[in-house]
């Protein structure tokens, strides 16, 4: 399986060169990260992008037992863990039917209505295989079924095979990873970028850019930049990585959720694309540390960086695992706004990305020993 996933990087080149390289290194990095396949447990192609940059900009680098990458800057002082997860929503082949169709086990929080009539790539042992989750023809669907959502268990991947033997000849077998087929593009000459997996490849890109800027600028702390695995199926890589890092402060960098699209309700989310980086004051998995929130607001105000605040139901992120590690850790979840998360095609804004990098760098530079001591001091004031 590992060989087949690495082979994807070579065999899938035509897919990732549909849009030529630009003169903008940031766009090229975002394109590479977005296009790379990496469902939970099969993050190898993403790790192959992350590892060289993380190694070049750290004093030491290692892995946890689930494949998360842990890169360290600095050797003394408080331990700051900066986290972004490499995996994306995807699936895996469950069964090959006698007539050559595939059933799929979904990985992560998919909506059933996002799965129908979509293109997918299966990472088979002989390289990538293209497929589509078909849809019944309107000419034969009864009128009372035309507005129904197709349940995921009724969907099958069509790879063009006539039977199970043809599917096997393509290198397909149960357990093969499956990812959305949704190539990156700059959206119609704007500063908005369309692609898959912004949750959390946009966070991975922020992590790489931030660590390039903090290299050699130590303020007396130790920064552990961590690219984690298997977030989408239970924050698993963050748990094992935090066990190794033992952080004093935890910072998750994620793709946020916006409420600026038609049909959005104000109480769902308040963030807007192009409105700057955000922080989660609440989500279903973690509560941000109030003193750390105050520090975040202070840094943003000093640097004149706009900051969006959000409280979101039905959302979990790696800060939850950092928060309950090492006896309890002040944490915050910093997000880059994303339209249409947990689907094939999402949109991010370049200004949001740039401002998030500026913000993360400034926050890390503010976390001196005395500041961290204060953040971790719960002594009641007189």
Average confidence score pLDDT of the chain: 91
- Whether the predicted pLDDT of 6 surpasses 70: no
Higher-pLDDT residue of 372, 154: 372
Q: What is the pLDDT of residue 268?
A: 80
**Window from 15-24, 247-256, 292-301 with minimum mean pLDDT:** 15-24
> Which CATH number does 91-180 carry?
2.40.30.40
> Could you tell me the pTM of the whole model?
0.91
Binning the chain into helix, strand and coil, the percentages to the nearest 5 are 35, 25, 45
Contact predicate 82/229, CB 8 Å: no
Over residues 117-154, the pLDDT tens digits come to 999 999 999 999 999 998 878 778 788 888 887 888 88
| 85 among annotated binding-site residues | yes
pLDDT digits (tens, 9 = 90+) for 180-204: 999 999 999 999 999 999 999 999 9
Query: Is 173 an annotated catalytic residue?
Result: no
Q: What is the mean pLDDT of residues 331-351?
A: 96
Interatomic CA distance for residues 124 and 134, integer angstroms? 20
- The annotation status of 254 as a binding-site residue, yes or no, is yes
Residue 19 has pLDDT above 90, yes or no: no
Domain borders along the chain are 2-88+184-375, 91-180
Give 290-298's long-range contacts (Cβ < 8 A, gap of 24+): 291/330, 291/374, 291/375, 292/249, 292/330, 292/331, 292/332, 292/375, 293/332, 295/363, 295/366, 295/367, 295/371, 295/375, 296/332, 296/334, 296/363, 298/366
Q: What is the mean pLDDT of residues 209-213?
A: 97
- Comparing 146 with 364, the larger pLDDT belongs to 364
Answer with the residue of higher pLDDT: 4 or 26: 26
pLDDT band at 21 (very low <50, low <70, confident <90, very high): low
Q: What's the pLDDT score for residue 267?
A: 77
* pLDDT band at residue 2 using 50, 70 and 90 as cut-offs: low
Higher pLDDT, 142 or 300: 300
CATH for 2-88+184-375, options being 3.60.15.10, 3.40.50.300, 3.40.630.10, 3.20.10.10: 3.40.630.10
Mean pLDDT, residues 330-353 = 97
Per-residue confidence (pLDDT) for residue 230, from 0 to 100: 96
Query: Which residue intervals of 104-261 are DSSP H helices?
Result: 164-169, 198-214, 236-245
Number of Cβ within 10 Å of residue 351's Cβ equals 14
Instruction: Specify the pLDDT at position 20.
Output: 45
Cα separation of 28 and 5, whole Å? 21
Q: Is 199 annotated as a binding residue?
A: yes
Active-site position among 231, 267, 268, 302: 231
Buried (b) or exposed (e) across 231-257, using 16+ Cβ within 10 A? bbbebbbbbbbbebbebbbbbbbbbbb
What's the DSSP call for residue 154?
G
pLDDT of 13 higher than 70: no
């Amino acid at each position: 399986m590992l060989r087949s996933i690495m082979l994807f990087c070579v065999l899938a080149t035509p897919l990732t060169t549909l849009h030529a390289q630009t003169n903008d290194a940031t766009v090229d990095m975002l394109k590479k990260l977005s296009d790379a396949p990496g469902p939970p447990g099969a993050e190898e192609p993403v790790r192959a992008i992350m590892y060289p940059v993380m190694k070049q900009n750290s004093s030491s680098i290692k892995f946890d037992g689930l494949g998360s990458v842990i890169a360290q800057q600095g050797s003394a002082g408080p331990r700051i863990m900066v986290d972004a997860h490499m995996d994306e929503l995807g699936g895996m082949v469950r069964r090959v039917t006698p007539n050559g169709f595939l059933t799929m086990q979904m990985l992560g929080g998919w909506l059933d209505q996002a799965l129908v009539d979509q293109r997918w790539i299966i990472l088979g042992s002989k390289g990538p295989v293209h497929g589509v989750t078909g849809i019944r023809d309107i000419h034969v669907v009864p009128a009372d079924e035309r507005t129904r959502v197709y349940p995921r268990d009724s969907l099958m991947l069509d790879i063009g095979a006539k039977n199970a033997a043809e599917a096997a000849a393509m290198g397909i077998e149960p357990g093969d990873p499956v990812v959305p087929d949704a190539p990156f593009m700059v959206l119609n000459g704007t500063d908005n970028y369309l692609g898959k997996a912004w949750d959390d490849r946009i966070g991975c890109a922020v992590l790489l850019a931030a660590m390039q800027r903090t290299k050699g600028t130590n303020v007396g702390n130790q920064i552990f930049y961590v690219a984690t695995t298997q977030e989408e199926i239970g924050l698993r890589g963050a748990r094992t990585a935090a066990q190794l890092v033992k952080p004093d402060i935890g910072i998750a960098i994620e793709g946020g959720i916006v409420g600026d699209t038609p049909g959005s309700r104000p109480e769902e989310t308040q963030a807007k694309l192009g409105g700057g980086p955000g922080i989660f004051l609440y989500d279903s998995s973690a509560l941000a540390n109030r003193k750390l929130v105050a520090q975040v607001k202070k840094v943003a105000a000093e640097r004149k960086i706009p900051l969006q605040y959000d409280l979101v139901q039905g959302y979990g992120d790696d800060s939850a695992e950092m928060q309950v590690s090492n006896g309890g850790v002040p944490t915050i979840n910093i997000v880059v706004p994303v339209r249409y998360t947990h689907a094939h095609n999402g949109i991010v804004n370049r200004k949001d990305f740039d401002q998030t990098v500026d913000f993360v760098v400034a926050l890390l530079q503010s976390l001196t020993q005395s500041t961290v001591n204060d953040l971790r001091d719960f002594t009641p004031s007189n």
